Structure 1
Amino acid sequence: MSNSSAAAILTTAHLSEAVRAVRTLLGIADIGQGEVDFEAVIRSPDVLTRVRRVLPHLEWQASAGKESGSSEGGHNPADHLPIRVFDWERPLDRAEPFIAALGPDSAAVRWDLDAWPEVPEEGLEAISQKYAYLTLTVNSRDLYQDEPSLDHTVHVHARNRNGDQIARVHWLARQVGGRFTGRVETAPL
């Protein structure tokens, strides 16, 4: 397992603005074989019902731990709220319905891309699948839902904090009207 650095490039109180930024970045990236991963904390039965319509085979565990209830154990998630969702390798078209289902609950939605393209005029080479990721945190400032918030943050991932990677972060931020805030989190891949 390796890590990337997830750089915050846009924080907004408007979920629609964050989703627009994600769409713009997906339009730049190579997404031919892309997939999406979900991590969330679901607290209410209503949100759970909406999320299960999007992800009927939801993978989850009770916030108190797997031994207190999990999809692996065949338990009913409604009996174990709040739950933590860890659902991986889903089709890209599941992302926006999942985001819409969240209501006030927090999540991180990560798009695993095929590549970020080269940008010759900026001196940027293409970035392979191994480091081409994009994450939207919903109702949370961080990737792990430890900082609940009323706003949403778009993060782009870089291999490390060297100059070439930071230049790409700045370039991607400009494409969505954002800016690199200097806030970076380590993200296991």
Structure 2
Amino acid sequence: MSNSAASAVLTTASLPEAIRAVRTLLDIADTDRAEVDFEAVIRSPDVLARVCAVLPGLEWWAAEGKEHGSSEAGDDPADFLPVQVFDWCRPLDRAEPFIAALGPDAAAVRWDLDAWPDVPEAGLEHISQKYAYLTLTVNSRDLYQEELSRDHTVYVHTRGGDDEQLARVHWLAAQVGGEFTGRVESARL
């Protein structure tokens, strides 16, 4: 397993603004074979029902651990709230309905892109799928929903560590009206 450097490029209290930024970044990225992954902690029956309607066959387990209830065991998630949700490899069109279903619950939505394209005018070369990701955290200030908040943060992922990657982060932030403030998290891929 490898990691990428997830750089926060926009934090906002406005979910529509965060979604607009994600759409802009998706328009920049190569998304021909892209897919989206979801992580969340669902706390209420209403949110659970909405999320299950958006993501049939959802993979989940009890917050206390799989041995206390899981989709793998065929349990009903409503009996085990709060539940952790981990769902992978969904089509891109599932992202916004999932986000709308969340209400106040925290989540991370990660788009697995085909590439960040080259940007010759900015001196940026193509970045392959291995390090081309985009994450939106909803109602959380971190990738893993440990710092709950009313804010939403857009992260761009790169290899990290060199000047070209830092230049890409700054360039992508500028495209969405954000600013890279130096906040970087290590993201498990």
Common topology (TM > 0.5) = yes
* 1:104 partnered with 2:104: yes
Measured in 2, the distance between the counterparts of 1:104 and 1:161 equals: 35
Q: Scaled by the length of structure 2, what TM-score is found?
A: 0.99
Q: Which secondary structure does the structure 2 equivalent of 1:38 belong to? A: strand
Q: 2:187 maps to what in 1?
A: 187
Measured in 1, the distance between the counterparts of 2:165 and 2:46 equals: 41
Task: Give CA deviations for 1:48-99 in whole Å, capped at 9, x if unaligned.
Answer: 0000110011000100000000000110000000000000000000000000
Measured in 2, the distance between the counterparts of 1:56 and 1:115 equals: 28
The correspondence of residues 17-166 of structure 1 with structure 2, limited to 5 A, is 17-166=17-166
Measured in 2, the distance between the counterparts of 1:136 and 1:84 equals: 17
Q: Structure 2: give runs of 5+ residues left out of the alignment.
A: none
Measured in 1, the distance between the counterparts of 2:75 and 2:143 equals: 26
Q: Structure 1: give runs of 5+ residues left out of the alignment.
A: none
* 1:167 partnered with 2:173: no
Identity %: 76
What is the CA RMSD across the aligned residues, in angstroms?
0.5
Measured in 2, the distance between the counterparts of 1:161 and 1:9 equals: 16
Task: Give CA deviations for 1:123-159 in whole Å, capped at 9, x if unaligned.
Answer: 1001111110000000000000000000100000011
* Amino acid in the other structure paired with 2:145: Q
Q: Which secondary structure does the structure 2 equivalent of 1:139 belong to? A: strand
* Amino acid in the other structure paired with 1:131: Y
Alignment size in residue pairs = 189
Task: Give CA deviations for 1:145-189 in whole Å, capped at 9, x if unaligned.
Answer: 000000100000011221110100000000000000111100011
Measured in 2, the distance between the counterparts of 1:159 and 1:23 equals: 22
Measured in 1, the distance between the counterparts of 2:69 and 2:187 equals: 26
